[in-house]
Amino acid sequence: MKMTPMNIAIFGIAAIGGLIIGMQSPMLGMLLIIPVVIFVAVILLRNQSGALADAEVTADAKAMTPAAGKARIYIMRNGFVGGQQGMNITVNGDLNSQIRSKYFLMAEVDPGQHEVTAKMSSGSKSESHTFSLGAGEVILFDMKLNMGMVQGTPDFTEIRGAREAQGMFRNLKMVEWKSAA
């Protein structure tokens, strides 16, 4: 998580202010909690992840070996910040799905130029990353959140090469791409 010193200061002031108000007026504290609970519920209800992949498909994906003449794109989330909020992922405008923390996606693609777009299910700004892959290449995007004052935006950490990437998503579950219908 990347937080600026200003965000840390604002968070600290808000926490101390909340404690003081909560102790002086418990009823006001309860009234302030209700909108927060509703906000969290709405965000979680927006999660519409793809189905979990079966064990055979997951094992093939974790082998990180593309078919002949193909390349593989992996997208994973393993962080704590915003972990239960879905992140909508689109590859080349064709493949769409959503992942939360502790899940990953895999796309087998033709070599060439590709684009991955990520957007939080809360409706924050989308971020795109364009890159090139050759036949037999593997790329992993470790998705994180860059926290702003009010909301986070997706951050792409690019890892090339199967050896380093394999250890990163060993314990994650694979999600399938959603159908176009």
- pLDDT (tens, 9 = 90+) of the chain, 181 residues, equals 455 677 677 778 888 887 787 778 777 777 777 877 877 777 666 666 677 788 898 888 888 889 999 999 999 888 656 556 778 888 998 888 888 888 899 999 999 999 999 887 766 777 889 999 999 999 999 888 777 666 677 778 888 877 777 777 778 888 888 765 4
Q: Which domains does the chain have, with CATH numbers?
A: 5-45 (no CATH), 55-174 (2.60.40)
Six token digits for residue 173 = 């579950």
The number of angstroms, rounded, from the C-alpha of 168 to the middle of its chain's C-alpha atoms is 14
Provide the 3-class DSSP secondary structure of residue 28: helix
Cβ(74)–Cβ(140) below 8 Å: yes
Residues 102 and 84: their CA atoms lie apart, in Å, by 9
Give residue 133's pLDDT.
93
3-state secondary structure 62-114: HHCCCCCCCEEEEEEECCCCCCCCCEEEEECCCEEEEECCCEEEEEEECCEEE
How far is the CA of 101 from the CAs of 38, 81, 105, 168, in angstroms? 22, 9, 12, 13
Give residue 1's pLDDT.
45
Provide the 3-class DSSP secondary structure of residue 117: strand
Give residue 115's pLDDT.
95
pTM, rounded to two decimals: 0.71
How crowded is residue 23: how many other Cβ atoms within 10 Å of its Cβ?
9
